């Protein structure tokens, strides 16, 4: 079943013309099933039923409502942070802006030139070394400030004072449009001295220590909000933003009257909510669909017991889920004649990009898959092994797509707009050949 079919079924008969997606591609059914019942039977727990998806939608809705209410938010798992963004763009905005997008092992700096219904931009991606990801907050923000200054010099704007939109793709408690406190690190980060602190202030202090560029942070937002807003600049029906990349999260447009966790001093009717739905399941809500592989991934992570929904979907974990399944099946003699390898049995060796590469291969051919397996010390893998490995990959990625589709359907049902555009971005969406419609 495709993402669109999941959504339309979940939405109780909305017509295809009502639901529009700012996305491309297809969720295709798995390739022909491997011969023999063994792999099929052992992958059953990775295949979700419609009833399970409906139960997930129901539990997510309850978790969101708990997060929106000031009386229950303290104990809520899905925090539903108000973003303080209450207006959507209308396409008439103009000007020159900087953007900083921090959310994973790489971050992006952009300069954007907006004209009426037209824009152009320049950007550059910078890496964050592992020692900085796990070092101090001062090291992290000094590194970001240096890259910002280098980027401005490279684009001949170092002498200008420019507004900056800061996309910070970690759980954030916002107490204003330009003030946000880090709730907790995710995605492998553990920088000291940042949790509970205002990350805008930390960035501004790092820039002040340099003193060579003039930047005014005009807003801090989550990457899902940035995704929604950029799509809404082109498409007036955009009401949901979803990121499927290193992590997974969603935001949506909520009626202000339903949000009691922030003072709506403006009196505006809507507010964008950053759900932080990746935390869904931290209180046991996903136990009914968690597999042994999900539990192993969680137990080996640096944030054990947290972000369980995200760990079932995102690019940081998808390859490892596949690897754990392949490892088990090999030890059971179902793959590779029971002959594994040190690489296959090493945590993190099966990259998520391998899942995308294997599924991008035309059905009936196995060149890419066999090459990946050879690189993992399995040159003896047969074509039947390749068929089986592809099937495992498809079960894992298809499950992730269906989980996202159920979440999107939950949000669309809750908003109850006549027309909805869902904006989607992130590395899994961009690079997996069939994850999204």
CA atoms within 13 A on the CB side of 412: 30
Question: CA-to-CA distance for 374 and 340, rounded, in angstroms?
Answer: 11
CA atoms within 13 A on the CB side of 199: 32
CA distances from 4 to 52, 168, 356, 402 (A): 17, 29, 20, 10
Q: Domain limits of the chain?
A: 3-81+281-416, 84-221
Contact 323, 349 (CB under 8 A): yes
Q: Mark whether 44 is an active-site residue.
A: no
Same fold across 3-81+281-416 and 84-221: no
**Helix/strand/coil for 188:** coil
Of the candidates 101, 142, 223, 385, the residue annotated as catalytic is 223
Query: Is the alpha carbon torsion for 243, 184, 83, 403 positive or negative?
Result: positive
Q: Mark whether 142 is an active-site residue.
A: no
pLDDT digits (tens, 9 = 90+) for 11-61: 443 333 333 333 333 344 444 545 545 899 999 999 999 999 999 999 999
Write the DSSP assignment of 256-325 as a string of letters.
GGG--SS--TT--SEEEEE--GGGTTTTSTTTTT--HHHHHHHHTSTTTTS-HHHHTTSTTTHHHHHHHH
pLDDT digits (tens, 9 = 90+) for 243-296: 999 899 999 999 999 999 988 888 899 999 999 999 999 989 999 999 999 999
pLDDT digits (tens, 9 = 90+) for 418-431: 999 999 999 999 99
In 11-164, alpha helices (H): 38-42, 50-68, 130-133, 137-154
pLDDT digits (tens, 9 = 90+) for 196-237: 999 999 999 999 999 999 999 999 988 899 899 989 988 989
Strands of the sheet with 248-255, listed across from one edge: 19-22, 420-425, 238-244, 248-255, 270-274, 81-82
The CATH architecture assigned to 84-221 reads 2-Layer Sandwich (3.30)
pLDDT at 104: 79
The domain made up of 3-81+281-416 is a member of CATH 3.40.640.10: no
Of the candidates 66, 187, 306, 311, the residue annotated as catalytic is 187
């Amino acid at each position: 079943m495709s993402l669109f079919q999941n959504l339309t079924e979940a939405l109780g008969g909305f017509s295809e013309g009502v639901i529009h997606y700012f996305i491309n591609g297809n969720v295709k059914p798995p390739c022909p099933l491997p011969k023999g019942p063994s792999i099929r039977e052992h992958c059953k727990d990775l295949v979700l039923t419609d009833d399970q998806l409906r139960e997930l939608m129901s539990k997510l809705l309850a978790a969101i409502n708990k997060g929106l209410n000031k009386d229950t938010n303290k104990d809520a798992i899905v925090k539903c942070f108000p973003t303080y963004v209450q207006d959507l763009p209308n396409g008439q905005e103009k000007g020159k802006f900087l953007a900083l997008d921090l959310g994973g092992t790489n971050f992006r700096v952009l300069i954007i030139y907006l004209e009426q219904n037209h824009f152009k931009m320049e950007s550059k991606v910078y890496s964050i070394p592992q020692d900085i990801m796990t070092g101090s907050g001062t090291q992290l923000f000094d590194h970001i400030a240096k890259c910002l200054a280098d980027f401005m010099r490279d684009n001949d704007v170092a002498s200008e004072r420019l507004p900056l939109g800061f996309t910070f793709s970690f759980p954030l408690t916002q107490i204003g449009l330009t003030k946000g406190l880090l709730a907790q690190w995710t995605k492998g980060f553990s920088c000291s001295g940042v949790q509970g602190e205002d990350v805008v202030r930390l960035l501004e202090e790092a820039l002040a220590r340099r003193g060579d560029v003039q930047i005014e942070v005009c807003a801090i937002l989550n990457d899902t909000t940035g995704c929604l807003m950029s799509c809404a600049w082109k498409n007036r029906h955009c009401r949901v933003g979803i990121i499927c990349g290193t992590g997974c999260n969603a935001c949506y447009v909520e009626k202000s009257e339903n949000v009691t966790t922030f003072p709506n001093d403006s009196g505006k009717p809507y507010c964008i909510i950053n759900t932080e739905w990746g935390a869904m399941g931290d209180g046991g809500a996903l136990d009914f669909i968690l597999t042994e592989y999900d539990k192993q991934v969680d137990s080996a992570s640096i944030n054990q017991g947290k972000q369980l929904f995200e760990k079932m979907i995102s690019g940081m974990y998808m390859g490892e889920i596949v690897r754990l399944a392949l490892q088990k099946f090999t030890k059971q003699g179902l793959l590779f004649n029971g002959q594994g390898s040190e690489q296959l049995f090493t945590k993190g060796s099966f990259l998520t990009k391998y899942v995308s590469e294997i599924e991008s291969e035309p059905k009936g051919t196995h060149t890419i898959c066999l090459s990946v397996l050879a690189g993992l010390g399995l040159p003896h893998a047969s074509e039947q092994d390749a068929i089986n490995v592809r099937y495992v990959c498809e079960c894992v990625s298809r499950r992730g797509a269906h989980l996202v589709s159920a979440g999107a359907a939950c949000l669309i049902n809750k908003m109850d707009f006549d027309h909805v555009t869902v904006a989607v971005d992130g590395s899994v969406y961009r690079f997996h050949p069939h994850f999204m419609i």
